[in-house]
Chain A
Amino acid sequence: MATGVKPRVKVPKTAAAGDVITIKTLISHKMESGNRKDKDGNKIPRSIINRFTCDFNGTSVIDMTMYPAISTNPYVEFQAKVDASGEFKFTWYDDDGDIYEAAKSISVS
């Protein structure tokens, strides 16, 4: 089980209907690529976040497949179109089966 994995998300608190807003996300994760070797020369096995999704009120905003070339502490910034108030749900999927989640509400007038 990956330890110390913390997600952070930045979503505007309010917006007007039809606005395109910018969302920033960061999750602290080592993203062990599988290419590194330990002191004895053995390959350290891959252990990364392999997928990130964001939904708004149940509708997909973005679905990102991550490969080992994504940096430590994966940062993802993207745009969402909001037409009504609701909730963003963020999900990160770890190679080891863990799932990390975050949610943020937005008030749309």
Chain B
Amino acid sequence: MKLTRRDALAMGLGATVVAMLPMRLSAAADDAIMAYTGGAEAGEGDITLTAPEIAENGNTVPIGVAAPGAVEIMVLALANPSPDVALFKFGPAAGAQAAKTRIRLAGTQDVVAIAKMPDGSFIKTSQSVKVTIGGCGG
């Protein structure tokens, strides 16, 4: 793949993002985050992602996100067939920029939450969720 200057610039930023995350991400994971932020860096900030450490079943994993003051929060599951999970946009009548839902995880992976702030900047957080393969199905 021939790199354009834009690509190189994006990947340069990507490297910074990777350095800031606690776990190493693949290039595809970077792409997923970049696809949402449009190439902008996502820093640390007041954003919380609540997810179980071990999910009893990958079908139904309860998660929660919160980012006070955010315009919207994007949730990604980096190793799913497609990383997009949910995009929460908060309106004027929202009591908090927070939401809970239940998601599908194809296997053990990082779940990432990225919030877009009113000034156009992004903050993010992530958590690794272990998804078990049961011994008995039935």
A72 interfacial by beta-carbon distance below 8 Å: yes
Query: Which of B12-20, B37-45, B87-95 contacts the other chain?
Result: B87-95
- Which of B90, B93, B102 interacts with A70 by CB under 8 Å? B102
> How many chain-B residues does the 8 Å CB contact rule pick out?
28
> How many chain-A residues does the 8 Å CB contact rule pick out?
30
CB distance B84 to A78 under 8 Å?
Answer: no
CB distance B59 to A76 under 8 Å?
Answer: no
Q: How far is the CB of A64 from chain B (nearest CB, A)?
A: 5
A16 interfacial by beta-carbon distance below 8 Å: no
CB distance B85 to A70 under 8 Å?
Answer: yes
CB distance B104 to A71 under 8 Å?
Answer: yes
Q: How far is the CB of B88 from chain A (nearest CB, A)?
A: 5
Main secondary structure of the interface of A (DSSP, over half): strand
Residues on B with beta carbons closer than 8 Å to the beta carbon of A21: 95
Q: How far is the CB of A76 from chain B (nearest CB, A)?
A: 5
Chain B 88-117 near chain A by CB (<8 Å), digits 1 or 0? 111111111011111111000000000000
- Which of A35, A62, A65, A68 interacts with B94 by CB under 8 Å? A62
Can you name 11 A-B residue pairings with CB atoms under 8 Å?
A57-B93, A61-B95, A62-B89, A62-B91, A63-B89, A64-B89, A70-B102, A70-B104, A71-B103, A77-B101, A78-B94
Residues of B within 8 A of A (CB): 59-61, 77, 80-82, 84-96, 98-105
Residues of A within 8 A of B (CB): 20-21, 33, 35, 55-57, 59-72, 74-82
